[in-house]
Amino acid sequence: MYQLPDKSTDFIFGLDRLKMIPRSGWISHGIQHNDVESVADHTFSTSALAMLLADMEASNGRHVDVERVLRMALLHDLAEALTFDISKSYLEYLGNRGEAIKRKLEQSAWNHIIRGIRSKSIKAKYIQLQSEFNAARTFESQIVHAADKLDILFQINAYLRKGYARRMLSDLWTTTNRSLASFHIQSVNETQRIALQLYKAKL
C-alpha cells in the first residue's frame, strides 16, 4: 500500500483532528459536552456564511473574490488542530499577554501543519491567505472575520432552541454583537438582523 511521507500527512491529519476538537468557549458557558460543536463544525458553517456574504456583496455590485473568501474561511482555524480552541475565558488568566501568546502559539502550529506540503507555490499561497486573514485589512478577510462572528450568533440561537437558558449565553451574545458593529458591510448588517430576529423570537 502506498504511504505518504510522514510530514505530508500533517495537513491532512490536521483536518481530521478538527472534527474531534470541541469549541471550548461553549464549555465555559455551560453547554453540555455532547452538545458542543467541534472546530470543524464551526469552520464549515463559517465558510458557508462567508460564501453567502460574499455572494450578497457581489450581487450588489461590489467587487469581491469569492474563491479567496472561501479559501481563507476554510483555513482560518486550522492551527487549532494542534493548539485546540483557546477561548477568551482562558486568555483572561494571562492578562495583557494573552492575545500575544495565543497568536504566537497559533502561528507556530500553523507553520508545523503546512511544513509537509511539498509544493512551494501551494504552501506560499496558504501562508499568504492566513497572513491576510490575520491582518484583517482586505475586504475579503473582513467578510471572513464577520462570518466567524455571525456563526457565533446563529449557534447561540441553536442552543436556545435546544432549551439552554438565555442567561448562560447573554454575555457572549452582547459582546459578539458589539464586535460586529465595526463591520460596515451591508450583507453583514442584514445577516446580523436575521440573527437578532431569531434571538428575539425566543424571548
Per-residue pLDDT tens over the stretch 127-150:
999 999 999 999 999 999 999 999
Give residue 98's Cα distance to chain centre. 18
Query: Grid coordinates in use for 50?
Result: 462567508
For residue 22, the SS3 value is strand
Q: What is the CATH number of the domain that holds 140?
A: 1.10.3210.10
Q: Is residue 168 part of a domain?
A: yes
Q: Calculate the CA 79 to chain-centre distance.
A: 11
Tell me which residue range forms the domain holding 55.
6-201
106 neighbors 47 (Cβ within 8 angstroms): no
CA angle 177, 168, 92 (to 5 degrees): 70
Low-confidence ranges of the chain (pLDDT < 70): 1-8, 84-96, 98-99, 102, 202-203
What is the pLDDT, as a whole number, of residue 109? 78
Report the number of distinct structural domains present in the chain. Answer: 1
Quick check: is 79 in a domain? yes
Please give the Cα distance from 154 to 127 (Å, whole number): 29
**Does a structural domain hold residue 1?**
no
What angle (nearest 5°) sits at the alpha carbon of residue 157, between those of residues 153 and 161? 170
**43 lies in a domain?**
yes
Q: Is residue 90 part of a domain?
A: yes
> Cβ contacts of residue 6 below 8 Å, gap of 6+?
116
DSSP letter (8 states) at residue 38: B
pLDDT of res. 107: 77
The model carries a pTM of 0.89
The SS3 of residue 87 is coil
Between the alpha carbon of residue 136 and those of residues 88, 122, 141, 146, 178, the distances in Å are: 19, 21, 5, 10, 17
CA distance 41 to 5: 28
